[in-house]
Structure 1
Amino acid sequence: MLGHDAEDADAGPASFVGRSGELDALRTALAARRPITLTGPGGVGKTRLARRVLDSKRELGDSFGTALGLDLPAAARAAAGDEVGAAHAYGAGHAYWQAVGHPPRGTPELGPVRAEFERTARSALGDRAYEEAFEEGVRHGHAQRGRSHAT
């Protein structure tokens, strides 16, 4: 589901050689709660970069950073036409937002972006299919949180 597409299955540490500056910049922006946009042509590793940061946030038990960071791949998936993936990511993010006691929109700057891409995904899937995918993401998010707190 989140972060485990077939195309990324072999993407290990070697795929991040020389990208420590990008990782640090992304982590700093998330910590400062600044809006983030990853741009570039397809295949350069935008999604892998976002996933790597999310993995580190989860490992640290940073629920706020994880919730905020899940909006990145969710919006990217909605923009790319992967509405089910977007709904899964938004649902998982919702589980993390619940954990930190914030509304799912988190920061005011990201609210309109999130709302636009949620509407895009919901419109393409229909309400029922979107809600089912969203709830699957919520269950996944709660399971991920449970695993990160158990270690």
Structure 2
Amino acid sequence: MRDKQWEQALYDHQHAMIKRLDSHRKKDKTDSLTSDEIMAVEHAFQLLVASMLDLAKYVLKNHYQVNIENRSEVLASLLEHKEVTFEQGEQIRALVELRDKILYDYLEQNFETLSEALALRRYGLVEVLTKEWTARLGE
């Protein structure tokens, strides 16, 4: 069953995370960040990717009646149901891998890799997919 209020709240949340990431991306690269600022950017990125996966699970459940238990199963199901193109799937895979690296390999310094991904604004795909998926639910 659709929850339009949740969908709007999720979209608003994603928009806020994207604004934070855009703000970091536009900063002068010669300015060094504090460890708190680095953590804030990493957290915003993690939340954005997690929200994309949760929305995908929601779409798969509400549009295809497919129950996905783990976020790790989401991409395969999206591809199976042709909810994303191969290229979008590869972008999602890269975002998820980077998120997992930050989340589970937290003792390593992965911020340079994240900064490179942010410079390309790869996270912009999340907003595009959110709009497409919520529109599909309305059909």
Note whether the superposition's TM-score is higher than 0.5: no
TM-score (norm 2): 0.34
User: What is the TM-score when the length of structure 1 is the normalising length?
Assistant: 0.32
Larger Rg: 2
